[in-house]
Structure 1
C-alpha cells in the first residue's frame, strides 16, 4: 500500500478463539488509486447506513459499524458461522487527500469511499507553447 493511505490494524495479536472470531469480522477492504482520487471499497454485508459511522480526525479515516444479521423469528440456528458484531477499521491519510471532499456510498452491502486528492497533488499536463 502506498503512503496516501496506510491501514492501522486495530486487531489484537492474541491467538484466543474469541480473538480469531473478532478478526474474521473485519470487513475486507480494497484500495484503488487514480490521478484524481483514492477509492476505498469495503464488503459489509449486514451493515446499514444507520449502523455505519465514518469520520476523519487528524488525517485518520475511521470506519466503524455494527454487523446486524437477524435470525428469522421462531427459528434457531443448528449451526452458525455468520455472527453480528461491532467492527472498526482505521487508515492514516497523507496530506494529499482533501478530507473535506470525501464521499461515501453504501449500496447492497458494499461501501464505496471516494477520497479526492488535493488539486496541488494531482498529476497535470504542462502545455508547451511555441516561442
Structure 2
C-alpha cells in the first residue's frame, strides 16, 4: 500500500437534498501483486462516457457523473434520487509506471491496473554454488 496514498479532500458523503448534485467518495478495494497494484472502485450509475481518469504530476484522479433527467411534462412531488458526482484521488509512488495504467468499467465498477516499473518488482536472486 506504499505505492499509493488516498487524497479524499473535497469529497463528501451524501446529503438528503433531492435533485442536487452530490460529490461522493466511491468505495475502493486495493490489491497488490508483485508486478502491479489493482484498484476496484464502485461508481454505480456512472457510464464509460462520463468517467474521466487522469494522471497529473503523480496524482491519479477518477471522476464520474450520474445525471438524472426528469421526463418532459412531469414535476416531482417527492424525490430521493439525485444527480451524483464521484471523485477520488491517489498519490502514486515512483514505483508505478503511470504511462502503462489500464482502466475498464463494467456495470459501474471501475477496474484499474497500475503496473510497477521493472526496477521495483520483487525478483529472486539465483545463488551460485562455489
Q: TM-score, normalised by structure 1?
A: 0.80
Matched-pair contact (CA < 8 Å) for 2:11–2:25 = no
Alpha-carbon shift at residue 99 of structure 1 (Å): 0.4
Q: In the comparison of the two structures, how many residue pairs are matched?
A: 124
Question: C-alpha distance in 1, partners of 2:76/2:104?
Answer: 33
What is the 5 A alignment of 1:100-111? Answer: 100-111=99-110
How much has 1:39 moved relative to structure 2?
Answer: 0.5
Q: What is residue 35 of structure 1 aligned with on the other side?
A: 34
Residue 126 of structure 1: CA displacement? Answer: 0.9
**Distance change in 2, residues 1:42/1:71 (3 Å):** farther
Gaps of 5+ in 1: none
Q: Distance in 2 between matches of 1:27 and 1:12?
A: 10
- Map of 1:116 onto structure 2: 115
2: CA distance, partners of 1:35 / 1:72: 50
Question: Are 1:52 and 2:29 an aligned pair?
Answer: no
**2:86 is the alignment partner of 1:87:** yes
Mapped pair 1:65 → 2:64: yes
After superposition, the CA RMSD in angstroms is 2.6
Report the Cα distance in structure 1 between the residues aligned to 2:56 and 2:83, rounded to whole angstroms.
27
Secondary structure of the residue that 2:99 maps to in structure 1? helix
Aligned match of 2:97: 98
Deviations 1:80-127 (A, max 9, x none): 2x4222232110000000001100010111000000000110101111
The answer to which of 93-102 and 64-73 deviates more is 64-73
Q: Whole-Å Cα distance in 2 between the matches of residues 119 and 9 of structure 1?
A: 29
Q: Greater share of helix residues, 1 or 2?
A: 1
